């Protein structure tokens, strides 16, 4: 990855905003800018803060636990350890670097930390400038190197799905299926799942974010599997539905309807189209068939270093899609007491359409 190029681009943005530096706290943003893979273990714990000055050297502030990792992963940055907390270090370091205005990620900073930071920096006459989405705006367009990594993450996810699908009879309950998926991911080289695997049998399928439990995968019963993994830092996300045995007439009809909506949504995805237009293309198919009330979530989301990121394909999303964005298209129908069906693929937005990152080998014609 060309981190220097990304840093340079961000530094240009900071100069245009007339701030001396940006403190990057969101893990995916840190990773995007410098390749640092330290993770945060909770909302008030950090494995490091990246200080990007408008001009000059990037500093990675962290604590003893991550010192070696930071030095190994980001050898070109100045790693600085804070033995007494990040604020104390900032209070000392910022005046040394002649920073008088510090931008921070207001959408990813606890209010209590921002208050303490304001108090500490006021003593040094440093102004805090809240920003929202500076790095995210860069992350939303993927370069071909990133697209290739995401393609590999999608392929591996499909490989895992195919393996589990062919041995499904070995896993009697939802949790057995989920465990098999997640161990297979790790065994095949994924870092970890990109989110908690969703396995919903029968009526549980009506919950879009069902938590796998001890429910048995019944004979002639349905199963919705939503799974994703992280490979080389990048995420995949895919949903498929299975029937153990013979599907009911209604199940078959609705599965075909959801697939029709999925294909209509994908056909609408191209550069220049608004997120809400793609959403509408799929939603109209489901609504026209009389199931509009049973499709209560948006059509899709961006995927990259995070499994849910910009852009959104929703009725409220008026922003136009741009080439290089990666989105899911995942319509669904959820009927309480009966079950649910969702189909999800990932696409690269191109100037003249979109590229399906999934192969058709995992489409199950029910």
Minimal distance in Å, beta carbon 258 to Zn ion? Answer: 14
Element (H, E) at 341: strand 339-342
Kindly tell me which of 32 and 347 has the beta carbon lying closer to Zn ion. 347
Element (H, E) at 81: strand 78-81
Element (H, E) at 47: none
Calculate ∠ Cα 184-185-189, nearest 5°.
110
The Cα–Cα gap between 189 and 156 comes to: 9
Kindly tell me which of 28 and 237 has the beta carbon lying closer to Zn ion. 237
Q: How many CB atoms lie within 10 A of CB 260?
A: 16
Minimal distance in Å, beta carbon 344 to Zn ion? Answer: 5
Residue 90 burial by Cβ neighbours in a 10 Å radius (0-12, 13-18, 19+): buried
Minimal distance in Å, beta carbon 208 to Zn ion? Answer: 9
In three-state secondary structure terms, 192 is: strand
Minimal distance in Å, beta carbon 239 to Zn ion? Answer: 5
Kindly tell me which of 25 and 239 has the beta carbon lying closer to Zn ion. 239
Element (H, E) at 33: helix 27-34
The Cα–Cα gap between 363 and 190 comes to: 22
Q: Which of 191, 152, 345, 168 is nearest to 263 (CA)?
A: 345
Residue 97 burial by Cβ neighbours in a 10 Å radius (0-12, 13-18, 19+): middle
Q: Which of 22, 82, 78 is nearest to 53 (CA)?
A: 22
Kindly tell me which of 21 and 343 has the beta carbon lying closer to Zn ion. 343
Minimal distance in Å, beta carbon 326 to Zn ion? Answer: 11
Contacts of 202 (CB under 8 A, 6+ apart): 215, 218, 221, 222, 339
Contacts of 232 (CB under 8 A, 6+ apart): 149, 152, 153, 191
Minimal distance in Å, beta carbon 235 to Zn ion? Answer: 10
Kindly tell me which of 105 and 226 has the beta carbon lying closer to Zn ion. 226
The contact set with Zn ion (CB under 5 A) reads 226, 237, 239, 328, 344
Minimal distance in Å, beta carbon 328 to Zn ion? Answer: 4
Kindly tell me which of 46 and 222 has the beta carbon lying closer to Zn ion. 222
Kindly tell me which of 49 and 200 has the beta carbon lying closer to Zn ion. 200
Minimal distance in Å, beta carbon 342 to Zn ion? Answer: 8
Kindly tell me which of 89 and 343 has the beta carbon lying closer to Zn ion. 343
């Amino acid at each position: 990855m060309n981190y220097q190029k990304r840093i340079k681009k961000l530094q240009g943005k900071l100069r245009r905003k007339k701030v001396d530096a940006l403190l990057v706290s969101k893990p995916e943003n840190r990773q995007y800018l410098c390749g640092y893979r330290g993770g945060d273990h909770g909302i008030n714990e950090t494995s490091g803060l990246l200080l990007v000055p408008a001009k000059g050297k990037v500093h990675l502030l962290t604590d003893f636990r991550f010192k070696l990792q930071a030095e190994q992963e980001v050898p070109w940055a100045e790693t600085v350890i804070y033995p007494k907390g990040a604020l104390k270090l900032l209070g000392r370091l910022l005046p040394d670097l002649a920073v008088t205005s510090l931008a921070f990620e207001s959408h990813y900073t606890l209010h209590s930390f921002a208050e303490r930071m304001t108090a500490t920096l006021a003593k040094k006459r440093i102004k805090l400038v809240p920003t929202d989405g500076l790095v995210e705006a860069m992350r939303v367009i993927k370069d071909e190197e990133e697209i290739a990594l995401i393609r590999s993450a999608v392929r591996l996810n499909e490989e895992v799905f195919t393996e589990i699908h062919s041995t499904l009879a070995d896993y009697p309950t939802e949790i057995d299926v989920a465990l098999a998926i997640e161990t297979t991911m790790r065994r095949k080289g994924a870092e970890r799942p990109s989110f908690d695997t969703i396995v919903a049998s029968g009526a549980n399928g009506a919950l879009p974010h069902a938590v796998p439990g001890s429910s048995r995968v019944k004979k002639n019963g349905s199963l919705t599997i939503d799974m994703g993994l992280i490979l080389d830092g990048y995420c995949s996300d895919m949903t498929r539905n299975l029937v153990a045995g013979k599907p009911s007439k209604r199940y078959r009809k609705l599965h075909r309807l959801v697939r029709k909506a999925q294909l209509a949504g994908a056909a609408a995805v191209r550069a220049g189209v608004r997120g809400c237009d793609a959403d509408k293309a799929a939603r109209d198919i489901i609504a026209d068939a009389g199931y509009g009330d049973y499709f209560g979530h948006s059509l899709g989301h961006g995927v990259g270093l995070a499994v849910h990121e910009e852009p959104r394909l929703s009725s409220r999303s008026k922003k136009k899609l741009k080439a290089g964005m990666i989105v899911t298209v995942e319509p669904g129908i959820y009927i309480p007491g009966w079950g649910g069906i969702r189909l999800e693929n990932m696409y690269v937005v191109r100037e003249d359409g979109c590229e399906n990152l999934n192969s058709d080998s995992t489409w199950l014609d029910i």
